[in-house]
Chains A and B, each alone.
Chain A
Amino acid sequence: MKKYLEDLRQELVKQKLTNKEIEEIMADHEEMIRTAMEEGLSEEEIKAKFGQPKQVAEELADNDQVEPDEQEDNNDLVLWKTFTVEKDQIKVNVNLISEDITYQLSDNNEIKVYYEGNGKVDKYEVSYEKNEFKLYAPKRMGFHFSFNKSDGLRFLVELPKHVVVEEFKHNTVSSDSEIKNLTVNQLTINTTSGDLLIKNNQIDQVKLNSVSGDCEIKDSKIKEINFSQVSGDGQLTNVTISGDFKVNTVSGDLEIQNVSCDNFEIRSVSGDVDGKEFYPNKVTLKSVSGDIDIKNKESHYIEIVKKSTISGDINISR
């Protein structure tokens, strides 16, 4: 039965399950097969009873998918462009000024771009070439910047469910942006005053720069976060970070609830961190007056790697 277990492990790795999942599933199967052998089943009988490892792995991977929720209704919007995607990996590159935008999943293998509002949508550059989706606001000449939101536009971009966005670049001045239900390798966001919501995504690396926009990350699985803000506030709720979580803030505060990560590193002038059910393995604080407050119900050892602050402090309590 060694072969069965070896095959199973291979299939689980192929399905990109996390190491923790794989170990749990392997342990369960070792136990079940051992029990079958103890009960005197022959190799053939065990084979028939257990079936194909590939099938188990696929079913388990299906289970593991983050269920898409709260997709935004696109009925009232105008469907503007569609592009058929044949590859599994695409790039997304978006540059906007003040147009609000939402990204979510489409119901087929097409990228769909919807809009609403009276702005001049035909002035926008939109394309899908060489696996890269681009949406660019028209370049404005001179100083005729229009911040008049009334004739502004709002976009809804839907991406196929099966694709992984290997590179996702989103630059905006004052657009409010929402990213929902996606799988992304590298997400880079730059915003000046636009607010940002990242909800229900699986992301490897997040790089987030915000000047005064507020950023919220919810219900997501992320490997690494690099978060930089000046005066905007940050909020993280129900986020599993398997690697490091690095923050740079001047005066923006950070509210963290139900979050775990390996290394939590923060540089702050006066921004505070308020954590509830926040379980980092290690903490590093560099601040002038910024504090870290953590209140956890479960006991969890948090190593304080470094603390250099003038009047700030780290408080961990239960």
Chain B
Amino acid sequence: MNAQFKRGIIELCVLSVLVEKDMYGYLIINQLSDYIDVNENTIYPILRRLTKEDYFETYLEESNEGAPRKYYKMTEKGFTYYLQLREEWDAFIGGVYQIINQGGKKNEEIFRRFKTRISKTETNK
């Protein structure tokens, strides 16, 4: 996938998990890599950039295992940004599905319709 495009999507994902609750770095990485093929070296730089842009604040909290962990907390600025990004995403992905579903929704169906169309053009010749 185009790196720039992927980065944009991961950004939305990072924002989405932090809307839910405050989390520490490793947990954010886990939440994302459970569902999509992405690792730390893509997520961390995004997390750091969004923090620098004041979309997140950080604070330290003791953990049961001992050493304190750095938690990321979404700011109001971050939330506004998230809403805007989410809206753009929904509109975009909605449009994309409209387009790709034109040929049918299930593979078998797409294949069947494609085959009938091909055979029609063949007989027309």
Contacts and interface: CB of A to CB of B under 8 A. Distances in A.
Contact of B67 (A31, A52, A59, A62): A31
Given A35-B24, A35-B26, A36-B26, A60 B67 contact: no
Interface residues of A, number: 22
A52 B41 contact: yes
Contact of B45 (A31, A36, A48, A60): A60
A242 B17 CA distance: 36
A135 B103 CA distance: 62
A49 B52 CA distance: 24
A124 interface: no
B69 A31 contact: yes
A60 B44 CA distance: 9
B70 A56 contact: no
Interface in B8-60: 24-27, 29, 33, 39-42, 44-45, 48-49, 52
User: Does more than half of chain B's interface fall in helix, strand or loop, or is it mixed?
Assistant: helix
B65 interface: yes
B26 A56 contact: no
Contacts of B27: 35
A74 interface: no
B45 A51 contact: no
Interface string A243-278: 000000000000000000000000000000000000
Contacts of B41: 50-53, 55-56, 59
Given A28-B25, A31-B69, A60 B39 contact: no
B19 to A, nearest CB: 21
B39 A35 contact: no
Contact of B29 (A25, A38, A49, A62): A49
A75 interface: no
A56 B29 contact: no
Contacts of A16: none
A11 to B, nearest CB: 10
Contacts of A59: 41-42, 45
B39 A50 contact: yes
B25 A63 contact: no
Given A28-B25, A35-B26, A49-B33, A56 B69 contact: no
Contacts of B39: 48-51
Given A50-B40, A51-B40, A56 B24 contact: no
State which size class the interface on B falls in: 20 to 34
B44 A49 contact: no
A59 B49 CA distance: 10
A81 interface: no
A14 interface: no
A63 B24 CA distance: 21
B45 A56 contact: yes
B40 A32 contact: yes
B24 A49 contact: no
Contacts of A35: 24-27, 63, 65, 69
A34 interface: yes
Interface of A: 25, 28-29, 31-32, 34-36, 38-39, 48-53, 55-56, 59-60, 62-63
Q: Which 4 pairs from chain A and chain B are nearest by CB?
A: A59-B45, A51-B41, A35-B26, A56-B41
17 contacts: A28-B70, A29-B44, A31-B25, A32-B25, A35-B26, A35-B27, A38-B65, A49-B33, A50-B41, A51-B40, A53-B41, A55-B41, A56-B44, A56-B45, A59-B41, A60-B48, A63-B48
